Structure 1
Amino acid sequence: MATSLTAAQRQELQDAFNIFDSDKSGQISEKELGNVLKALNIKLNDSQLKTLVVAMDTDKSGQIGFEEFCRVMSESFFKKHSEQELRAAFRQFDQDNSGYIQAGELESIMAKMGKRFKKSEIDALLQSLDKDGDAKISFDEFVKLF
């Protein structure tokens, strides 16, 4: 999958890789991986950490290179969502069950997420997602976000 990444996805993974690669060697060591996982409050014992590195280290160099990192991380970072997952997410936005997300619903969901937007900002967001110009977001338009 790492070869089918877009330039933007590859850059996101490069940025993440650079955070892991604290000594800027171009490789992630077992210690560096352990430090990041610890910072993320992911608890692994030494044996589990070693197993994770071995699983990621396909060229058996003892460290994780960028391509190895991409191979593992892209599968979870850029996972395609099932239609069922997307429909469940759409239903969270479509509060009146009309089959569409309208400006008021979009504003309500954003507010619940702690994001306050002016009416003009909500309208602009809606317009950017609304490809057929009917002032509402259909499921098909919503799916294109993912």
Structure 2
Amino acid sequence: MPDLLNPEELSDEQMSTFRRHFDSFDFRKEGSILTTDLGTVLRACGQVPTEAWIRERIKVVDPDGKGIVEWEAFLRLLKQSLVSGNPDDELLESFRRFDQLGTGQIDSSQLREILTTLGDSLSPEEADELISDADQLGTGKISYESLCRTLVYGPD
């Protein structure tokens, strides 16, 4: 598993993945994304920023309020997010709290409720898409360790 806590040594594969996510929101193909998409792109890169963290960083990267984040500024923010804590450990601990039997799995309906109601919640559609990807066998049970790895490091 890549060491995401050393952002100065991002692998070519990581940089390519991050750039791909960034570019997927660069609708004008000008090397920038809208500030309103910043959280979504960071999350696509495996980060778990809070809305407050995002708002504070937008003030830094877009001080004139144009609503744009350039690639280099995004990369700096991503690196800040990477060194601010291990999201894998934080996510695992969060899911463990809901795993009362210690099975390493979470029920898809419970996961949907968590994703759509707690913290920086997802829309029902986003939650359903994530759950569908995580429960490819359709068992209704999701390994939260596997889910966390996918969320943080991307699909295998």
Q: Shorter-chain TM-score: what band?
A: 0.3 to 0.5
Tell me which of the two structures has the higher relative contact order, counting C-alpha pairs closer than 8 angstroms and 6 or more residues apart. Answer: 2
Tell me which structure has the larger Cα radius of gyration. 1
TM normalised by structure 1 equals: 0.45
TM normalised by structure 2 equals: 0.43
